[in-house]
Amino acid sequence: MTIAEIAQRAGVSKAAVSRYLNNGYISSEKREAIRRVIEETGYVPSQQAQTLRTGRTKMIGVIVPRIDSESISRVVAGISRVLEQCGYRLLLANTDNRSEKELEYLEVFRGNMVDGVILVATVLSTAHKKALGAAGVPAVVVGQQAPGISCIYHDDKSAAEALTTLMAASGRRRIGCIGVTRRDKAAGVLRYEGYFAALGQAGLQEDPALCEQSDFSVEGGRAAARRLIERIPDIDGVFCATDSIAIGAIDTLRDLGRRVPEDIAVAGIGHSRMAELLRPRLTTAHYYYFSSGEEAARDLLHIIDSGTDQKRQLMLGFEIIRGETV
Contact at 8 Å (CB) between 122 and 65?
yes
Q: In this predicted structure, what is the pLDDT of residue 56?
A: 61
The SS3 assignment for 89 reads strand
Q: Are residues 15 and 164 in the same domain?
A: no
Contact at 8 Å (CB) between 287 and 269?
yes
> What are the b/e assignments for 45-66, b being 16+ CB within 10 Å?
eeeeeeeeeeeebbbbbbbbbb
Question: Is 123 a member of any domain?
Answer: yes
Q: What's the CA gap between 261 and 266, in Å, rounded?
A: 7
Question: Is 182 a member of any domain?
Answer: yes
Contact at 8 Å (CB) between 178 and 140?
no
Q: Are residues 189 and 179 in the same domain?
A: yes
Q: Are residues 256 and 142 in the same domain?
A: no
Cis bond before residue 233 (omega within 30° of 0): no
The SS3 assignment for 105 reads helix
pTM of the model: 0.81
Q: For residue 213, give every residue at least 6 positions away whose Cβ sits within 8 Å of its Cβ, in sequence order, or none.
A: 178, 179, 180, 181, 224
Q: Are residues 76 and 118 in the same domain?
A: yes
Number of domains comprising the chain: 3
Report which of 255, 249, 252 is spatially closest to residue 269, judged by C-alpha positions: 249
Q: Are residues 173 and 268 in the same domain?
A: yes
- CATH number of the domain that residue 167 is part of: 3.40.50.2300
Question: Is 321 a member of any domain?
Answer: no
Q: Are residues 126 and 193 in the same domain?
A: no
Q: Are residues 160 and 268 in the same domain?
A: yes
Q: Are residues 70 and 135 in the same domain?
A: yes
pLDDT tens per residue across all 326 residues of the chain: 788 888 899 999 988 988 888 777 889 999 999 989 988 888 776 554 554 444 567 899 999 998 888 999 999 999 999 999 999 999 999 998 888 898 888 888 876 589 999 999 888 888 888 888 887 889 999 999 988 899 999 999 999 999 999 999 999 999 999 999 999 999 999 999 999 999 999 999 889 999 999 999 999 999 999 999 999 999 999 999 999 999 999 999 999 999 999 999 999 999 999 888 899 999 999 999 999 999 999 999 999 999 999 999 999 999 999 999 99
Q: Are residues 184 and 275 in the same domain?
A: yes
Question: Is 322 a member of any domain?
Answer: no
Neighbours of 183 (CB within 10 A): 12
Q: Are residues 150 and 293 in the same domain?
A: yes
Residues in the chain: 326
pLDDT in tens, 129-166: 888 888 788 999 999 998 889 999 999 999 999 999 99
Q: What's the CA gap between 225 and 287, in Å, rounded?
A: 24
Q: Are residues 282 and 162 in the same domain?
A: yes
Question: Is 50 a member of any domain?
Answer: no
> What residue numbers bound the domain in which 87 lies?
57-154+289-316
> What are the b/e assignments for 100-129, b being 16+ CB within 10 Å?
eebbebbeebbeeebbbbbbbbbbbeeebe
Q: Are residues 253 and 308 in the same domain?
A: no
Contact at 8 Å (CB) between 239 and 160?
yes
Contact at 8 Å (CB) between 217 and 272?
no
Maximum CA extent, the chain: 81
Question: Is 323 a member of any domain?
Answer: no
Question: Is 326 a member of any domain?
Answer: no
Question: Is 71 a member of any domain?
Answer: yes
